[in-house]
Amino acid sequence: MAQTATLYSLAIDLSHVDRGVYETLDLKVARHPSESAEYMVARVLAYCLEYQDGIAFTDGLSSGDEPPVLVRDLTGRITTWVEVGMPSADRVHRASKLASRVAIYTHRDIRQVLAQFDGQRVHRAAEIPVYELDRTVVEACAAGLDRRSALTLNVMDGQLYIEMGSQSLSMPIVAHALP
């Protein structure tokens, strides 16, 4: 019998001072059986850091044609395509033709992520930021995350501050350019 997704209820107080976004989010996040806890945390962080009207999680791993997170305008057109982890150059190339903005968030080794794009053709590559999420912070969040969790995320001066229960974590939000 196939395993089903595990549902997480996350109450997140988001204060993104750098972008002027202040929201209280009540997220229901499904973690696919083949998805690591670290990937799910990276997906949630990408959602929060990109938060705007029209943002949504997609079926992600279940649907190979969509990114983990996307933003649609009122007409249903995809305006922002957000990849997580280590997407292929072909996938990012296609995404940059479909959406006016593409961003990648990774908790993987940034050198490996960027190396896979070296010499590859990616439409508007110079406009696509690759945000490096500190792996040790992502791992600590994954280890401390319960199926019902409350988090506070503050972004100020390019630094992300995370509070989860008694745990306080921080990491810089570092953007890299595609080669």
Q: What is the pLDDT of residue 5?
A: 87
| Residues 168, 179: Cα–Cα separation, whole Å | 34
Q: What is the pLDDT of residue 3?
A: 79
As given in the structure block, the two tokens for residue 28 are 């229901």
158 has a pLDDT exceeding 80: yes
Compute the half-sphere exposure of residue 128: CA atoms within 13 Å on the CB side of its CA. Answer: 27
* pLDDT confidence band for 37 (50 / 70 / 90): very high
Q: Which domain holds residue 37?
A: 6-177
2 has a pLDDT exceeding 80: no
Q: What is the pTM of this model?
A: 0.95
3-state helix, strand, coil in the chain (%, to 5): 25, 40, 35
Q: Give SS3 for 148.
A: strand
Parallel, antiparallel, or unpaired for β 69-72 and 78-84? antiparallel
Q: What is the pLDDT of residue 65?
A: 81
| Residues 74, 65: Cα–Cα separation, whole Å | 21
**Average pLDDT in the chain:** 94
Residue 52 forms part of a structural domain = yes
49-70 pLDDT tens trace: 999 999 999 976 556 688 999 9
Question: How many domains would you assign to the chain?
Answer: 1
Instruction: Taking residues 124-137, report their average pLDDT.
Output: 97
Query: What CATH number does the domain containing 17 carry?
Result: 3.10.640.10
91-129 pLDDT tens trace: 999 999 999 999 999 999 999 999 999 999 999 999 999
How would you label 118-153 residue by residue, b for 16+ Cβ within 10 Å and e otherwise?
eeeebeebeebbbbbbbbebbebbbebbeeebebeb
138 has a pLDDT exceeding 70: yes
Residue 156 forms part of a structural domain = yes
Residue 1 forms part of a structural domain = no
Q: What is the pLDDT of residue 4?
A: 87
Q: What is the pLDDT of residue 172?
A: 97
